[in-house]
Amino acid sequence: MPKKDSEFALQDFLPYLLNQAAEESSLAFQKAYKNRYGMLRTEWRVLFHLGTYGQMTATGICDKARIHKTKISRAVQKLSERRFVVRARSDEDRRVEYLKLTPAGEAAYRDLRTEAEDYDARLRGQFTSGEVALLRMMLKRLAGLDAAG
Amino acid sequence: MPKKDSEFALQDFLPYLLNQAAEESSLAFQKAYKNRYGMLRTEWRVLFHLGTYGQMTATGICDKARIHKTKISRAVQKLSERRFVVRARSDEDRRVEYLKLTPAGEAAYRDLRTEAEDYDARLRGQFTSGEVALLRMMLKRLAGLDAAG
DNA sequence: GCTTGTTAGTTACAAAAACAACCATTACCA
DNA sequence: TGGTAATGGTTGTTTTTGTAACTAACAAGC
């Protein structure tokens, strides 16, 4: 009986497939924020968190977006230099800093959000809405975003 | 009529979700090749390509794995230093170099393949086999891996 | 056969990420 | 109330990546 050597299919290995799909879609969408605003991936993520959820702290974004705090710290620095974000120390706890978008930040957010919606619609267009719903459900579970998020 | 400001759901945006799921699953699987063999992501990818497809050239891996050639070049360097991979110049075309696993490389591959199979089975276990099939189909299409691969 | 172009792969340098150590402030608790 | 731990956030250093330029070998046109 031969060793079942060739049964493993790399192109069906979920972590591999997930990465290929993620990279492809990220690279395509990246053009929007990179070319038009010179932003990095972490920067648009911070921008979008503040844009969709309103005022947050850096730690809040860390938890929600699952990004390390040093990356957030530097992204906030950049966004604040560009006057897209303002920081305000809390009075109750002087360690924490509230972040929110400036009008310029809001404008950039709205612009990029339109891009995002268009791009997402294009991706979804390849499938039925039932398939998309299932895909989202599965991705959320794989990401561990079922309950918390 | 108010601006539909809050209709965009970041947590449903496909590139974002794909990245979250990809990162989560990659990080978990990473432990296997990182802790046990001190490998980087590109290195296990090269190892797995050579393990599952047999002898290949660097360019062949680039095309199949969609990784830039500089990354492949460095990964091959590392793997060859560790005696997991041997390189052999082609006689027909002295630019090309055939890569294949050494016995030690094969052993590492088989070991990590087992890990991969177990981990993949664990991921798949959260869903029905029909759901998994659909997920794979969708991810391949999103990755642009429909025809070529 | 000699310019021009292409392909396989490497190297050098700049940008970004990971990791650890670090303040400052607040919480715990004996 | 004073010492220890935990938390929010930043900074510094090392790895890893991205980008461009490079060498070497081949291919094609003329």
| Owning domain of residue A96 | 39-141
B17–A149 CB contact, under 8 Å: no
Distance measured from the CA of protein residue B3 to the C1' of nucleotide D10, in angstroms: 38
DSSP strand pairing (B85-89 vs A97-101): unpaired
- Confirm whether A24 is domain-assigned: no
How far apart are alpha carbons A60 and A37 in whole angstroms?
Answer: 24
Decide if pLDDT at B5 tops 90.
Answer: no
Quick check: A129 contacting B, CB < 8 Å?
no
Q: What is the pLDDT of residues B94-108, one digit of tens each?
A: 999 999 999 999 999
- Confirm whether A126 is domain-assigned: yes
Of A12, A51, A21, A11, nearest in space to A135 by CA: A21
Residue A4, pLDDT score: 55
- Confirm whether B3 is domain-assigned: no
Phi-psi region of A3 (alpha: psi -120 to 50; beta: other; left: phi over 0): beta
How far apart are alpha carbons B141 and B134 in whole angstroms?
Answer: 11
The domain total for chain B is 1
Residue B100, pLDDT score: 98
CATH number for the domain that contains residue A83: 1.10.10.10
- Confirm whether A33 is domain-assigned: no
How far apart are alpha carbons A79 and B28 in whole angstroms?
Answer: 31
Buried b (16+ CB within 10 A) or exposed e, B23-35: bbbeeebbebbee
Q: What band does A6 get if pLDDT is binned at 50, 70 and 90?
A: low
- Confirm whether A1 is domain-assigned: no
Q: What band does A145 get if pLDDT is binned at 50, 70 and 90?
A: confident
Distance from CA of A28 to the nearest CA of B (A): 9
Amino acid letter, residue B85: V
- Confirm whether A23 is domain-assigned: no
Q: What is the pLDDT of residues A35-89, one digit of tens each?
A: 999 999 999 999 999 999 999 999 999 999 999 999 999 999 999 999 999 999 9
- Confirm whether A85 is domain-assigned: yes
Residue B149, pLDDT score: 52
Q: Which of B8, B24, B113 sits opposite A113 (nearest CB)?
A: B8
Mean pLDDT of chain B: 94
- Confirm whether B149 is domain-assigned: no
Q: What band does B146 get if pLDDT is binned at 50, 70 and 90?
A: confident
Residue A79, pLDDT score: 98
